[in-house]
């Protein structure tokens, strides 16, 4: 791989050097927005929401104006004419700068500001509506937001030459296309129903999983989560663990903020939430330090980002190898005793498959159905084939068709996820693309370094993290997701690897 060190003696006044300076400023604005979003979701008093919405809207406007200014376009043109003077990483950075500029210039500052304000207002109402099972309360807000999202999609589609959905997908999955997603999801949809039936029959023949008896005090759950985070390599000098309504990872590579939510009657969900978000955090912390603040130093789209969280949570921390190590640690933390605390039972508990309503708590086998549903619904909404008042009914119909269950409330249905109500449209397919990428990366990592799995069995994640640093984290956005996966695993995304993983884990004797 080419040297990632920036050219130190490049003329400070060259067009490319001035672009780097401009994007360092843009990155600082983006990082300020990230921390304000984290604060809003965790500790901000409710009365501060209106002021925070205005702050975020103004920051979005300033960021957009700086990014789309005429000088940015002039500098890009001048730097493009002098690429012979740039090294490979600088050329990749210029490519990413240009991509961001082209996308941003499709949108007016007014639209960016209106979208930010509408998303903040909608999210605030959603929080109460979700708790009250009151879709009608948030319906006008999300309907107004969707109007703006469609306006954004049309503007970007015209400039990028893409469909409405693909124009929004480009924000989360550069180079991604819904036609390719349709093909992959079609294969999964053909595979999953019969496989789900086989797994349910297989598990019914064996001993059932037993949830250890609580209560599990929040402070002890937090201590357990922190202990495993440190084993994974999380640096608390550069990050935090907090509580929010919806678990997430935010902040900046040097100040990573992750959250979870606790249930004192069941420690298992919060712990896996922590481990999932720690996978995201380790990716952020491992991004190339020499390129902090530049587009090429950022994470490579959301499918790769989700692959890092799902590799840690699903591939590793729900494995029998890890749970053999973790079971005594869990038992010691909560003072538990008896068969429910044995690794056999905890493995059954963490790999239990069932049809359920909540995506973030879903098992590995049924999770793709949750994502396929959301992907199809948001695509229909964005493209105008469906309107917001139709969402609850369409959601319930899809759940019944894909999983054979009917949500009894909208809280367990279309109100459960924050994404649409926070303005994130075109995001959902990256979750399952990430799951498939995770399976492929972890299989390659174990094949290339046979010491990775035995080390995990000792609570040592260093060999795995070293492989990820070299093959994923440290590459930033130097290459495309497809090229990164080929370089790391020898082939582009292959759904069969994910299917084989599921067969091995869930149908083994």
Digit-coded pLDDT (tens) for 333-374: 999 999 999 999 999 999 999 999 999 889 999 999 999 999
Q: How far apart are the first and last CA of the chain?
A: 42
- Using alpha carbons, select from 391, 392, 378 the residue that is nearest to residue 424: 378
Is the C-alpha dihedral spanning 42, 238, 18, 81 positive or negative?
negative
Q: Would you say residue 5 has pLDDT above 70?
A: no
Number of domains in the chain: 1
54 in a structural domain:
yes
The residues carrying an active-site annotation are: 277
Q: Would you say residue 193 has pLDDT above 50?
A: yes
Q: Would you say residue 461 has pLDDT above 90?
A: yes
Q: Would you say residue 2 has pLDDT above 70?
A: no
- What count of residues does the chain have? 509
Measured CA to CA, the distance from residue 4 to residue 1 in angstroms comes to 8
What pLDDT score does 9 carry? 46
**Average pLDDT for 71-93:** 96
What phi and psi, each to the nearest 5 degrees, are found at residue 346? Answer: -65, -35
Radius of gyration of the chain (CA): 23
Q: How many beta carbons lie within 10 A of that of residue 226, not counting itself?
A: 15
411 in a structural domain:
no
59 in a structural domain:
yes
208 in a structural domain:
no
Residues forming a β-bridge with 252: 255
Q: Which residues of 263-288 are buried (b: 16+ CB within 10 A; e: fewer)?
A: eeebbbbbbbbbbbbbbbbbbbbbbb
Domain that holds residue 136: 15-169
Which DSSP letter does residue 493 get?
Answer: -
Q: Would you say residue 4 has pLDDT above 60?
A: no
| Helix residue spans in 449-494 (DSSP H) | 452-456, 462-471, 481-489
What pLDDT score does 475 carry? 97
The SS3 call for residue 73 is helix
Distances (CA, A) of 213 to 188, 284, 335: 36, 36, 11
What pLDDT score does 395 carry? 98
Q: Would you say residue 7 has pLDDT above 70?
A: no
Enter the pTM of the model.
Answer: 0.90
Measured CA to CA, the distance from residue 314 to residue 268 in angstroms comes to 13
Order of strands across the sheet that contains 255-260: 239-243, 255-260, 249-252
Measured CA to CA, the distance from residue 144 to residue 483 in angstroms comes to 39
Count helices and strands (H / E) in the chain.
20, 3
**Average pLDDT for 189-213:** 94
Measured CA to CA, the distance from residue 436 to residue 438 in angstroms comes to 5
**Average pLDDT for 480-488:** 95
The SS3 call for residue 239 is strand
102 in a structural domain:
yes
With beta carbons less than 8 A apart as the criterion, state whether 129 and 387 touch.
Answer: no
With beta carbons less than 8 A apart as the criterion, state whether 394 and 386 touch.
Answer: yes
User: What angle, rounded to 10 degrees, do the helices at 301-310 and 429-448 form?
Assistant: 60
385 in a structural domain:
no
Mapped to the 3 state alphabet, what secondary structure does 240-300 carry? EEEECCCCCEEEECCEEEEEECCCCCCCHHHHHHHHHHHHHHHHHHHCCHHHCCCHHHCCC
Q: How far is CA 417 from the centre of its chain?
A: 13
378 in a structural domain:
no
492 in a structural domain:
no
Q: Would you say residue 6 has pLDDT above 70?
A: no
Measured CA to CA, the distance from residue 156 to residue 153 in angstroms comes to 5
Q: Would you say residue 8 has pLDDT above 50?
A: no
Measured CA to CA, the distance from residue 222 to residue 506 in angstroms comes to 29
**Average pLDDT for 495-502:** 95
Measured CA to CA, the distance from residue 148 to residue 160 in angstroms comes to 18
With beta carbons less than 8 A apart as the criterion, state whether 429 and 379 touch.
Answer: no
């Amino acid at each position: 791989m080419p040297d990632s060190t920036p050219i130190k003696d490049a003329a400070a006044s060259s067009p490319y050097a001035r672009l780097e300076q401009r994007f360092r400023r843009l990155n600082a604005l983006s990082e300020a927005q990230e921390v304000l979003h984290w604060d809003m979701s965790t500790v901000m008093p409710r009365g501060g929401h209106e002021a925070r919405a205005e702050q975020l809207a103004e920051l979005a406007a300033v960021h957009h104006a700086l990014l789309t200014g005429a000088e940015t376009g002039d500098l890009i043109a001048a730097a493009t004419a002098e690429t012979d003077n740039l090294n490979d990483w600088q050329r990749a950075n210029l490519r990413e700068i240009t991509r961001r500029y082209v996308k941003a210039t499709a949108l007016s500052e007014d639209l960016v500001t209106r979208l930010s304000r509408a998303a903040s207002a909608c999210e605030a109402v959603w929080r109460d509506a979700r708790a009250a099972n009151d879709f009608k309360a948030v319906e006008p807000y999300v309907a107004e937001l969707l109007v703006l999202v469609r306006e954004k999609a049309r503007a970007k589609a015209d400039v990028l030459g893409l469909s409405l959905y693909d124009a929004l997908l480009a924000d989360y999955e550069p180079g991604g296309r819904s036609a390719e997603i349709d093909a992959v999801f079609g294969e999964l949809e053909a595979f999953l129903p019969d496989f789900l039936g086989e797994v349910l029959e297989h598990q019914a023949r064996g001993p059932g999983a037993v949830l250890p008896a609580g209560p599990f005090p929040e402070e002890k759950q937090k201590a357990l989560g922190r202990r495993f985070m440190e084993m994974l390599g999380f640096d608390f000098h550069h990050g935090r663990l907090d509580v929010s309504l919806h678990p997430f990872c935010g902040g900046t590579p040097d100040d990573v903020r992750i959250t979870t939510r606790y249930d004192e009657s069941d420690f298992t969900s919060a712990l896996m939430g922590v481990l999932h978000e720690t996978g995201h955090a380790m990716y952020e912390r491992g991004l190339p330090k020499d390129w902090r603040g530049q587009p090429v130093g950022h994470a490579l789209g959301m499918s790769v980002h989700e692959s890092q969280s799902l590799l840690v949570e699903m591939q590793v921390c729900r494995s029998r190898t890890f749970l053999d190590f973790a079971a005594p640690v869990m038992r010691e933390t909560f003072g538990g005793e008896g068969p429910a605390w044995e690794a056999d039972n905890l493995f059954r508990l963490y790999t239990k498959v069932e049809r359920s309503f909540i995506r973030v708590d879903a098992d590995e086998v049924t999770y793709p159905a949750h994502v396929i549903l959301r992907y199809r619904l948001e695509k229909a909404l964005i493209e105008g084939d469906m309107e917001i008042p139709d969402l609850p009914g369409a959601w319930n119909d899809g759940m019944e068709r894909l999983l054979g269950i009917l949500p009894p409330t909208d809280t367990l249905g279309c109100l459960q996820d924050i994404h649409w109500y926070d303005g994130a449209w075109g995001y959902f397919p990256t979750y399952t693309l990430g799951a498939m990428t995770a399976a492929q990366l972890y299989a390659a990592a174990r094949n290339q370094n046979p010491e990775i799995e035995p080390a995990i069995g000792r609570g040592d994640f260093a060999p795995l993290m070293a492989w990820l640093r070299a093959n994923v984290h440290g590459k930033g956005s130097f290459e495309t997701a497809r090229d990164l996966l080929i370089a790391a695993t020898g082939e582009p995304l292959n759904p069969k690897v994910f299917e084989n993983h599921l067969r091995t884990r869930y149908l083994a004797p």
